[in-house]
Amino acid sequence: MPNPAAQRTLADMRILLVLTVAVFSLIPPVFARELGRGRYENVRFGYVAGIPPGFTGQGESDNGDGQVFDQSAKGQVLTVWGSHFLEADFEAEVAARIGYAEEDGWTIAAQTVTPRWANFSGVLGQRMLDARMILLCDGTSYAVMTVQYSVVHAGEIKDRLPQLEDMFRATGC
């Protein structure tokens, strides 16, 4: 006659095996999404950004708020930085940032603003701009990611934007 304690142990081991397989089957898609990309983490403001292959970092800024990455052969520039609110709230910060882009000559073609994140894009001659802003964990600061590129490379960058936006997030919340 089989030992009931041994049968329970065997059943527990089977459940543990199924759970382990399930967990490890979920991990590869996360790694696959970031495969081939670098990563920049900003400790001062608490955010992380994915850096596409071929982009070279220019070194963190002196004040530690962010960094510029470029792929100079294609004229592509990815910039990330954090800042404390100078305006009343996040949405006012977004409006101010859009205003600064317009003052620099960018024609803003699209924008989406929510209480926690915002996207906007623009055109200046043959250059394109895509920007994402996120509210950070402390609720009084934000991070910005901008990508500037030639219209010639628009398809290539537009294909990368969803992954870049997914990887650009606050840390430590």
pLDDT, one tens digit per residue, over 91-138 is 999 999 999 999 999 999 999 999 999 999 999 999 999 999 999 999
pLDDT band at 35 (very low <50, low <70, confident <90, very high): very low
- Secondary structure percentages of the chain, helix, strand, coil, to 5: 40, 40, 25
Q: Which CATH class is domain 37-170?
A: alpha beta
Structural domain boundaries in the chain: 1-35, 37-170
CA 82 to CA 8: how far, in whole Å?
A: 54
Whether 29 shows a pLDDT value over 60: the answer reads no
Q: What is the pTM of this model?
A: 0.76
